[in-house]
Amino acid sequence: MIRAARADEVDAFFDLTLLVDLHMPADQLPALKSTIGEALADVRPPFSHGLNHFLLATLDDQPVGAVHVGPARWMLDRKIPARIRRTLVEKVTSVDTIAVHGDHRRQGIATAILTRVESDFAAAGYQALALRHEHRMRHFFTAHGFTSLPRLAVDLGPAGLFTEYDREWKYAVKPLDPAVTFTTQRGLTVVSGLLN
Ligand SMILES: CC(C)(COP(=O)(O)OP(=O)(O)OC[C@H]1O[C@@H](n2cnc3c(N)ncnc32)[C@H](O)[C@@H]1OP(=O)(O)O)[C@@H](O)C(=O)NCCC(=O)NCCS
């Protein structure tokens, strides 16, 4: 079963989050846990927790998988005009964390979680999922219909081309709407049609 995480499940959600290589110093983990706790207490539409979706996959009501989906940091970059940032967070979202307990892997749980995420965001009119992933996770995301790119490049119409690069990460994008396509501009693979 895949359902919204409850406020009293912060420990279980955080333990699953720690299965991801977060590229984060240990002394920042308590702050991350309290951020998750505050977010889980903030239950409101349109997703499980506002613009964030915190879901748990359970077996016999025991959490075995977790996902956090929500606006990515780049969408809030002040280089992007405020009007476009407001539109972006209603058109694109990002899989921030996806993890399945080691005892329950390769049974399709992460696949079921991603399928649920896609259908919930597509139903809300979102046009794409865009995420950052470790190089070694490339196969997992491309097998699930994402295009993995060394650099994020997004056509923001009149606001131009937004790009982000971090050598530690790759970027992956999955259109949820046929209006979103990949084009080539200035030698880069560019996500186009997001703001249509
Ligand atoms: C990545 C991760 C979430 C995948 O979870 P999972 O539930 O094992 O994923 P799935 O079972 O849906 O799919 C994974 C593989 O199992 C295979 N699989 C799915 N169902 C299967 C089944 N019933 N029998 C055998 N294999 C199966 C899939 O084909 C896939 O194989 P592939 O990667 O070789 O293509 C999990 O390995 C994990 O938590 N890793 C640590 C955290 C992490 O790195 N997260 C990603 C970064 S945010």
Distance separating alpha carbons of residues 156 and 68, to the nearest angstrom = 25
Residue 102: is its pLDDT beyond 90?
A: yes
Distance separating alpha carbons of residues 76 and 94, to the nearest angstrom = 12
**Average per-residue pLDDT for the chain:** 96
Please state the separation of Cα 183 from the chain's center in Å.
22
pLDDT value at position 118? 98
In short, whether 148's Cβ falls inside 6 Å of ligand 1 is no
pLDDT over 70 percentage in the chain? 100
Residue 186: is its pLDDT beyond 90?
A: no
Ligand 1 center–CA 94 separation, angstroms: 19
Ligand 1 center–CA 108 separation, angstroms: 6
In short, whether 131's Cβ falls inside 6 Å of ligand 1 is no
Distance separating alpha carbons of residues 70 and 107, to the nearest angstrom = 25
pLDDT value at position 126? 97
pLDDT value at position 66? 98
In short, whether 59's Cβ falls inside 6 Å of ligand 1 is no
Distance separating alpha carbons of residues 174 and 182, to the nearest angstrom = 10
Residue 196: is its pLDDT beyond 90?
A: no
In this structure, which residue's CA is closest to atom 10 in ligand 1?
Answer: 108
In short, whether 111's Cβ falls inside 6 Å of ligand 1 is yes
Distance separating alpha carbons of residues 11 and 25, to the nearest angstrom = 19
pLDDT value at position 129? 97
Distance separating alpha carbons of residues 83 and 156, to the nearest angstrom = 11
Instruction: Single out the residue of 10, 60, 4, 75 nearest to residue 38, CA to CA.
Output: 10
CA angle (3, 5, 8) in 5-degree steps: 140
CA-112 nearest atom, ligand 1: 12
Distance separating alpha carbons of residues 3 and 35, to the nearest angstrom = 20
* Cis bond upstream, residue 81 (ω within 30): no
**pLDDT, tens digit, 9 for 90 and up, residues 104-122:** 999 999 999 999 999 999 9
**pLDDT, tens digit, 9 for 90 and up, residues 50-76:** 999 999 999 999 999 999 999 999 999
Residue 124: is its pLDDT beyond 90?
A: yes
Ligand 1 center–CA 130 separation, angstroms: 19
pLDDT value at position 18? 96
pLDDT value at position 22? 87
Residue 163: is its pLDDT beyond 90?
A: yes
Are residues 87 and 54 in contact, defined by beta-carbon separation less than 8 angstroms?
A: no
Ligand 1 center–CA 146 separation, angstroms: 15
In short, whether 2's Cβ falls inside 6 Å of ligand 1 is no
Architecture (CATH level 2) of domain 2-192: 3-Layer(aba) Sandwich (3.40)
pLDDT value at position 23? 87
Residue 128: is its pLDDT beyond 90?
A: yes
Q: Domain segments of the chain: what residues?
A: 2-192
CA-95 nearest atom, ligand 1: 48
**pLDDT, tens digit, 9 for 90 and up, residues 22-44:** 889 999 999 999 999 999 999 99
pLDDT value at position 113? 98
